C-alpha cells in the first residue's frame, strides 16, 4: 500500500476541502436550518394547523412566492446586458412561469383534470382549445428542458464534483423536488395524512428556495466560487 507523504499535495487537498466548505456554507446552512425546523414541525402536530399545509395554506403561498422570485430574477437577468446567455435566462423564465401556474393550480380555472396526464387529452369534457394550448405548452417545455440538458448537463455535473455552490444548490433543488413528487404520489395512492401532506409542502418550499439560490449563485458568483 502506497502512502503519499507529499506535503504540497496534502496542503492542496486541505485547501480544496476548505474552499468547498466556504463556497457552500450558505447552501448547507440553509439545508441544516430547514431540516431542524421541519423536524420540529413534524414532531409537534399541534404546533401548526393542518390548514398551513393545504393547497391554500401558508406553506403553499410561501412556495409560490419563492417561485415568483425566481421568475422575476430570470426576467431581470434576461434583460441585463452584463449577463451572458440572456436567451437562456428568458427560456428559464418561461419554465418558471409554467412552474408557478402548476403550483397555483391555474388549470382548475378551465378543467378539474390534470393537464400533465396524457389520457386527459382524450376526455370530451376538456375543451379542444384548452387541450391544444396545454399540449403546445408541454411540447415547448419539453423542448426547452431537452435544450438545457444538452447545454448544461456536463457543467452541472462537473460543478457538483468541484464543489461549485450553484451546482450543489441545483442538485439539492432536484433531489428535494423529486422527493416532493414521491410524497405527492404517496398521498394520491394511500390517502391524505397530515404528515405526508406537510412533508410534501415543506419539500416543495425547500426546493423552490434552493432553485432561487442556484440562480443567484450562478448569475452572481462570489469570490470563493471563482477562485
Domain membership of residue 14 (yes or no) is: no
Residue 34 is predicted with a pLDDT of: 85
Burial class of residue 11, CB neighbours in 10 A (0-12, 13-18, 19+): exposed
Classify residue 7: in a domain, yes or no.
no
Judge whether 135 lies within some domain: yes
Tell me which residue of 199, 171, 170 sits closest to 185, measured CA to CA: 199
DSSP H helices, the chain, are: 7-23, 25-43, 58-79, 86-103, 128-162, 165-190, 194-219, 223-226
How high is the pLDDT of residue 6? 53
Is 211 a domain residue? Answer: yes
Tens of pLDDT, residue by residue, the chain (227 residues): 444 455 544 444 444 545 566 667 888 888 888 888 888 877 776 666 677 777 777 888 899 999 999 999 999 999 988 888 899 999 999 999 988 887 776 655 555 555 556 656 666 666 777 777 778 888 899 999 999 999 999 999 999 998 899 999 999 999 999 998 888 777 655 656 677 788 888 899 999 999 999 999 999 886 445 44
Q: What is the pLDDT of residue 58?
A: 83
Q: How many whole angstroms separate alpha carbon 92 and alpha carbon 226?
A: 23
Range of the domain at 65: 21-36+50-222
In a domain, residue 5? The reply is no
Q: Provide the number of structural domains found in the chain.
A: 1
Is residue 82 in some structural domain?
A: yes
CA atoms within 13 A on the CB side of 223: 1
pTM attached to this predicted model:
0.78
In a domain, 8, yes or no: no
Burial 39-62 (b: 16+ CB within 10 A, else e): eebeeeeeebeeebbeeebebbeb
Decide if 45 is inside a domain: no
CA 134 to chain centre: 22
- pLDDT at site 159: 93
Cβ neighbors of 191 (< 8 A, separation 6 or more) are none
The pLDDT of residue 82: 83
Amino acid at each position: 500500500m502506497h502512502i503519499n507523504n507529499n506535503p504540497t499535495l496534502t496542503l492542496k487537498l486541505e485547501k480544496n476541502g476548505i474552499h468547498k466548505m466556504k463556497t457552500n456554507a450558505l447552501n448547507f446552512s440553509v439545508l441544516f436550518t430547514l431540516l431542524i425546523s421541519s423536524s420540529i414541525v413534524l414532531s409537534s402536530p399541534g404546533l401548526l394547523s393542518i390548514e398551513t399545509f393545504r393547497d391554500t395554506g401558508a406553506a403553499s403561498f410561501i412556495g409560490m412566492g419563492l417561485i415568483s422570485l425566481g421568475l422575476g430574477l430570470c426576467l431581470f437577468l434576461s434583460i441585463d446586458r452584463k449577463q451572458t446567455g440572456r436567451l437562456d435566462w428568458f427560456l428559464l423564465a418561461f419554465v418558471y412561469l409554467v412552474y408557478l401556474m402548476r403550483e397555483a393550480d391555474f388549470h382548475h380555472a378551465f378543467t378539474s383534470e390534470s393537464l400533465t396526464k396524457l389520457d386527459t387529452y382524450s376526455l370530451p369534457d376538456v375543451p379542444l382549445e384548452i387541450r391544444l394550448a396545454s399540449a403546445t405548452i408541454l411540447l415547448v417545455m419539453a423542448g426547452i428542458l431537452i435544450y438545457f440538458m444538452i447545454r448544461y448537463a456536463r457543467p452541472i455535473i462537473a460543478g457538483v464534483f468541484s464543489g461549485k455552490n450553484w451546482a450543489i444548490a441545483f442538485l439539492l433543488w432536484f433531489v428535494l423536488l423529486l422527493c416532493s413528487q414521491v410524497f405527492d404520489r404517496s398521498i394520491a395512492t394511500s390517502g391524505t395524512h397530515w404528515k405526508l401532506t406537510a412533508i410534501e409542502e415543506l419539500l416543495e418550499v425547500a426546493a423552490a428556495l434552493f432553485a432561487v439560490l442556484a440562480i443567484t449563485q450562478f448569475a452572481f458568483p462570489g469570490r470563493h466560487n471563482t477562485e
